Amino acid sequence: MEIDKKYVPGLFTALNLFCGMLSIVQSMEGQFFAAAWFIILAVLCDGMDGKLARLTHTETRFGFELDSLCDVVSFGVAPAILCYRWVFQDLRVFGFFIVFFYLMAGVYRLTRFNVIQNGDRTHGYLGLPIPVAAMGFSGFYLFHDRFDPGNPAPAAVVLCTVFALIMVSGIRYDWPRLNFHGSTLERIGSVLLLAGVILMAVIPGVVLFPVLSLYIIQGIIRAVAACIRGDVSAGDLFHPIKSL
């Protein structure tokens, strides 16, 4: 039986939510390794549904809103519960509010994206995309699980806080694209990007967190440089609510 192409993007949206729910269940059962991987799988499904919708010309407002609601679960609630159960449970009230701060920032980030950008990714993203933040948490767990550098709580507090602040900030992030026909700098960047993707696929526990950290840091550096040049003001970067 042939499946109507208009349902294919929705299938991947459902898989995104399915993986997010599985991550939550695994975190509640103390299976943090599996929980981290289900978040990563949810990110892959989330990337596929949008691309398939554009390729098949089946983009709808309903699908766009459904995708955002699923993202709240997979990239907001699931990482928050992973962090809480793995790191913050013993910190009780403080730990709860740390992960709630991240979750609230993620919900705000998605809402702002829907209102201001209306799904348009042409000019990049205003604030850190929540799937990147969610993968950052997963990568952090996999990195820690592999190398066990010690108590993860201090680093987890920093990550939750930094991810939350950057998500609601006015810092712009471009989605990396391969371009082997552009300038020399673009070609070098494309080679490094391709190498990073391959390494993330082969040894994710080693490479995923460092690569995502570099992606996040370069956005901050570019924003600071833009402030120094006078292209933007600090108010534009750290008072994003006024843009709504």
CB 189 within 8 A of CB 127: no
Rounded mean pLDDT, 189-205:
75
Query: How big is the CA angle at 44 (ends 41 and 205), to the nearest 5 degrees?
Result: 55
Instruction: Please report, rounded to a whole number, the percentage of residues in the chain having pLDDT higher than 90.
Output: 44
- Token pair in block for residue 219: 């956005």
* pTM for the full predicted model: 0.87
pLDDT at residue number 207: 86
Q: Is the pLDDT of residue 3 over 80?
A: no
Residue-level pLDDT at 165? 94
Please name the residue that has the structure tokens 């993707």.
197
User: With 90 as the cut, is the pLDDT of residue 9 above it?
Assistant: no
Token pair of 155 as six digits: 């680093």
pLDDT tens per residue across span 142-170 = 999 988 878 899 999 999 999 999 999 98
Q: With the CA atoms of 171, 177, 180 and 183 taken in that order, what torsion angle do they form, in degrees rounded to the nearest 10? A: -20
**59-103 residue pLDDT tens:** 778 888 888 999 999 999 999 999 999 999 888 899 999 999 999
Q: Which residues contact 213 (CB under 8 A, 6 or more apart)?
A: 136
**Coil, strand, or helix at residue 125?**
strand
- Provide the mean pLDDT of the chain: 85
pLDDT in tens, 113-141: 888 866 566 667 889 999 999 999 999 99
> Environment class of residue 122 by beta-carbon count within 10 Å: exposed (0-12), middle (13-18) or buried (19+)?
exposed
- Tell me the average pLDDT across 47-68: 80
Q: What is the pLDDT of residues 207-220, one digit of tens each?
A: 899 989 988 998 89
In the chain the domains, ranked by start, together with CATH numbers, are: 5-243 (1.20.120.1760)
* Rg of the chain over all Cα atoms, to the nearest angstrom: 18
Neighbours of 173 (CB within 10 A): 20
Those residues with Cβ within 8 angstroms of residue 188's Cβ, 6 or more apart along the chain or in another chain: none
Give the residue, 186 or 165, on which the prediction is more confident. 165
Distance CA(37)–CA(12), nearest Å, equals 17
The phi and psi torsions of 172 (rounded to 5 degrees) equal: -95, 140
- Give the residue with greater pLDDT, 187 vs 158: 158
Residue type, 224: V
Residue type, 189: G
Length of the chain: 244
Question: Mind listing the pLDDT tens digit for each residue in 174-184?
Answer: 876 666 666 77
